[in-house]
Homo-oligomer: A and B are copies of this chain.
Amino acid sequence: MKTRDKIIHTALELFNECGERNVTTNHIAAHLGISPGNLYYHFRNKEDIIDSIFDQYVNYLADHFQPHSEGDVTLEVMMSYLDSMFETMWRFRFLYYSLPTLLSRDPNLHKKYLKFQEVSAQREVDLLYSLQKNKVVNIPMEDLDELANSIKVVLVSWVSYRTTISKDAKVYKTDIYRGILKSLFMMKPYFTEQALVDYQHMREYYLRLATAETVIPETNS
């Protein structure tokens, strides 16, 4: 891995573990065993690193959430979307948690985020629409945008919400799985009769993951 990529990777790990506001560029450099000067050769400041992580996040979503175009939307296809959603929320959990603060602090990032919202809103609608075409769900056409947006609001807010109701103010993988279950639940009223068995299957699968015993992760602090 190149030094630049190592810095992004380590920063993301530390932000997720310790909270973005508790991590400085010096911490990141020390963790990597490089000099602060070496870090500053690659990034002007912490905002610059966060900006690169945000780009990774945007690319990750673009790669994993393309509407399904070939063949049927099977149970496997739906679960791969939900697994990707879990993976995104877990991998970039500090971003979800700190988003309002980060955007209010950095007008350039905010501009970028607003642009990304336009793309992602359309993608969310397209995803629901591909389920609709495959008779997995039956959503009145005039409600499609609003349902897509409702699910999005819950998913982007989930990490913050779970942190506020968590006794140790941390989120675990089980918390994220609860978010996946929640997004699934919001679609439940729209599932077609023939797809309800798939709904139950997915619900049971993610419920098992959400109620698995929480393993307190080892921290490096």
Chain A residues with a Cβ under 8 A of chain B: 19, 97, 99-101, 103-104, 110, 113-114, 117, 143, 146-147, 149-150, 153-154, 156-158, 160-161, 163-165, 167, 169, 182, 185-186, 188-190
Contact = CB atoms under 8 A, between A and B. Distances in A.
6 contacts: A19-B104, A99-B164, A100-B160, A103-B164, A153-B158, A160-B160
Contacts of A167: 114
Contacts of A169: 103-104, 110
B150 A185 contact: yes
Given A149-B182, A157-B157, 9 more contacts: A99-B160, A99-B164, A100-B163, A103-B163, A103-B164, A103-B169, A154-B154, A157-B160, A186-B186
A79 to B, nearest CB: 20
Contacts of A150: 154, 182, 185-186
Contact of A165 (B117, B182, B190): B117
Of the listed residues A97, A147, A149, A154, the one surrounded by the most CB atoms of chain B closer than 10 A to its CB is: A154
A63 B103 CA distance: 35
Given A158-B153, A160-B157, A185 B143 contact: yes
A147 B181 CA distance: 12
A110 B166 CA distance: 9
A167 B113 CA distance: 10
A150 B179 CA distance: 10
A163 B89 CA distance: 20
A141 to B, nearest CB: 14
A178 to B, nearest CB: 10
B104 A188 contact: no
Contacts of A165: 114, 117
Contact of A101 (B101, B143, B149): B101
Nearest to A157: B157
Contacts of A190: 189
A143 B182 CA distance: 11
A100 B101 CA distance: 10
Contacts of A189: 189-190
